[in-house]
Amino acid sequence: MTMLNITVLCSVIDNYGDIGFVYRLCRRLGEISKDIKLRIVCDNLKSFAFMNSGIDPEKAEQEFNGWKIFDWNDSQLCTKEFTDEEPRFILQCFQCRFPEWLEEILYEGKQKGSAYIINVEYLTAEEWADGFHKLRSGTRSVQVKKSFFMPGFTKKTGGLVLDGNFRKCIGDKKFAISMASERLKEDQKKILSGSDYFKILVFSYPRNFNFLVEAINSFSDFSKKKVHVFLARGISSKPFVKSCLEIGAAFEYSELPALEQEQWDAMLCSMDFNFIRGEDSFSRACLSGIPFVWHVYVQDEEFQLVKLNAFLERIRPFFNAGHFEDYKKFCFLYNRTFPVEPGDEACQAIATLKSSLPADEGRAGKEMSSLAAKLLLGAERDKESFEKASAEFLDNGDLAENLLEFINTLQV
């Protein structure tokens, strides 16, 4: 059987979200078929190495898991590799820019055969994703064709990546806890495997977490539950600890060690509540059936609120109306960037709540503290709603399988 030649381009913008998706997608493609030749071109191998310690960030060319991995920045090496063996199918992840050496190969006469670029877009719940999925686009060469492929939340999109490890973590909590525990300290393992604690994972962009510390204090006091907050290593850990020291945390917290992607998945699936960010972790939270809040990547004019609103409207049908309004209000406040004024589209997204949203960071913090405590208290009640949403997203099918089916329809 002829090997399917796929090149994956990844330019890392959001620390681990971009490469996290690429790594997951490639692992899933390998699970589906052994007749795929994968070449991954990444501009930040250090981020890739964080996903799996088998990646050497100092090597411009290496083999891993049956794939060939190249440093995007080594133009001489990459030019030789992709001239000697031309790319056929190119996954341009998240509409990343093309490296100059690949532009020259494709558009300046070095490419002898045809090539097909598939722009695998960012995950969005916005309605336009349905119509944009598989849409064709022109390029500067008749030999190079292009289409868009949309991850998403409906059957009219490509769905989400359903890799084997994550599906097992969803269905088998004992397996998830065992895998998540591999790199944890002994006290963290004990907390994770026991039933004494309400467990919260915090993986966020930097912000003031005073409101959340206050909310967890209130939740713990009212519910009489012990709480442990697991802090993802990275840019949100120090701000959270700072707030714990300023407010006085009446709960336990600890920073996680560096976790590879499979262990991270298991950790997320072992929690009672998740505060997450990023493309890849967001998609995992959506599939996990565990209550969560999404911190969206900040954009100009607060456009992240548009993306957030689209997702919230997608899951609204699974919730009790009153409970959902509290959740929605908190999510909008959590994702506001004070004192930035929302643009027109963001204002439309928050129109139904705008009159009740605090206008400054101080008042927003007080409101978020109250709302977050209510969300934590209602986590067990709301779990059913998140599970129903998860079941629908799982039913949409596997992005990797859908992508391969689409590739097999293309003529190059």
**Residue 137 class from Cβ within 10 Å (0-12 exposed, 13-18 middle, 19+ buried)?**
exposed
Domain at 4-161+397-409: CATH code:
3.40.50
The yes/no answer on whether domain 164-395 falls in CATH 1.10.10 is no
Q: What pLDDT is attached to residue 12?
A: 85
The pLDDT tens digits for 199-210 are 999 999 999 999
Q: Do domains 4-161+397-409 and 164-395 have the same CATH topology?
A: yes
The pLDDT tens digits for 386-407 are 999 999 999 999 999 999 999 9
Contacts of 245 (CB under 8 A, 6+ apart): none
Three-state SS at 200: strand
C-alpha to C-alpha distances, 244 to 199, 224, 231, 351, nearest whole angstrom: 16, 19, 12, 34
Amino acid letter, 192: L
Domain residue limits, the chain: 4-161+397-409, 164-395
Return d(Cα 67, Cα 275) in angstroms, integer.
Answer: 33
Does 2 have pLDDT greater than 80? no
Q: What pLDDT is attached to residue 110?
A: 82
- β-strand partners of 254: 230
Q: Is residue 38 within 8 Å of 30, Cβ to Cβ?
A: yes
Distance of CA 12 to the CA centre of its chain: 13
What is the DSSP-derived secondary structure letter of residue 298?
A: P
Q: What pLDDT is attached to residue 412?
A: 52
The pairing of strands 292-295 and 273-277 is parallel
- β-strand partners of 40: 8, 69
What's the rounded mean pLDDT across residues 236-245? 97
Q: Is residue 192 within 8 Å of 254, Cβ to Cβ?
A: no
Q: Is residue 140 within 8 Å of 105, Cβ to Cβ?
A: no
The pLDDT confidence band at residue 355, using thresholds 50, 70 and 90, is confident
Whole-prediction pTM: 0.94
- Picking from 267, 64, 66, 38, the residue whose alpha carbon sits closest to that of residue 165 is 267
